[in-house]
Amino acid sequence: MRQLFLIPLALVFTATLASAETYVVAPGTDAAEKLQEALILAKDGDIILLAEGRYPLFDGLSLDVDGVTITGAGMDATILDFADQKGAGEGLLVTSDNVVLEDFAVENSKGDGIKTKGSDIITFRRLRVEWTGGPEASNGAYGVYPVESTDVLVEDSLVRGASDAGIYVEQSDRIIVRRNRAEFNVAGIEIENSYNANVYDNVAMRNTGGILVFDLPNLKQNGGRNVRVFNNEIVNNDTPNFAPEGNIVATVPMGTGVLIMANRNVHVFKNRFDNNAMIHIGVGSYFEDYEDDDYQPHPRGIVIRDDDYGRGGFEPSGEVGLFFAEAAGGEIPDVL
């Protein structure tokens, strides 16, 4: 039975490779046109190869073809520059399945950096998404943003300057976020309304909050659960909150390590926390009014163990920070 199963798969894979094409795009006056043309013409199994250099782009890019790989020469070598982008859309929007994005950078998009919606089997690898002017409320909300997706892998990437979350996984299932660096964002990494996520071996530093695990009402998928946050460096989160007013993350106090809200079966273990001015780990309920009969606002089944705590809780700030301090009796513990 095993041989009968493997032989057809091998034949299909060989046929796919034989028919695959590689589209090579290089910097130049017509680079933007050629890149979007390649994204339209590509077929399942094709590769879009972005040569080294800077690509000034005035409009967002989109891909809706399954099985395409977009690869560059490295996150500091191939740069998609959206500084003069018209409108407020994403830098790159993907709405297809089995897509690999690797080895390039997206800078200064007016909206989200790289967004995938409804994409199954999606890989973000060795990417850099950055707003080069530093933390500003006018920056795009999300850097790497898979939503309504399954089998998500985000690895070995760098995100800086997102006005909401650097790596933001929303309403998705079967997620791995590993070996990334998130800094100078409001939230470094956020898992929201999602199931079955492993977040490990990341560095979350110099954000307002390092790692958030939230569940919010009135979304298509709620009941966030089964999230493991482990072996991460969550340190020096000291960037003042620069989220636009009204965003839920605008309430996150500067200096938060991990914040868990209204989620179920979340395990936080073997992380290193140090120099988080507000709190290392906070666990709480959703605190706003809502109309959603299926929503459960309270956290359940939270396990916190074997973490390493350095200096923390030395400078509570903001309305939530002061509430935490009062709830803790003036001195904020490592876990509240």
Q: Considering the domain boundaries, does residue 90 fall inside one?
A: yes
pLDDT of residue 167: 98
| Gap between the Cα atoms of 189 and 87, Å rounded | 26
CATH number for the domain including 54?
2.160.20.10
pLDDT of residue 20: 86
Q: How many domains does the chain have?
A: 1
pLDDT of residue 150: 97
> Using an 8 Å Cβ cutoff, are 10 and 16 in contact?
no
Residue numbers of the domain that contains 312: 17-327
| Gap between the Cα atoms of 206 and 194, Å rounded | 25
pLDDT of residue 6: 36
Q: Considering the domain boundaries, does residue 335 fall inside one?
A: no
pLDDT of residue 12: 39
Q: Considering the domain boundaries, does residue 11 fall inside one?
A: no
Q: Considering the domain boundaries, does residue 4 fall inside one?
A: no
pLDDT of residue 1: 34
- Per-residue tokens: 209: 């909050």
Q: Considering the domain boundaries, does residue 293 fall inside one?
A: yes
Q: Considering the domain boundaries, does residue 3 fall inside one?
A: no
Residue numbers in the chain where pLDDT is lower than 50: 1-17
Q: Considering the domain boundaries, does residue 6 fall inside one?
A: no
pLDDT of residue 326: 83
- Per-residue tokens: 49: 């190869």
Whole-model pTM? 0.92
How does pLDDT run across 209-239, given as a tens digit for each residue? 999 999 999 999 999 999 999 999 999 999 9
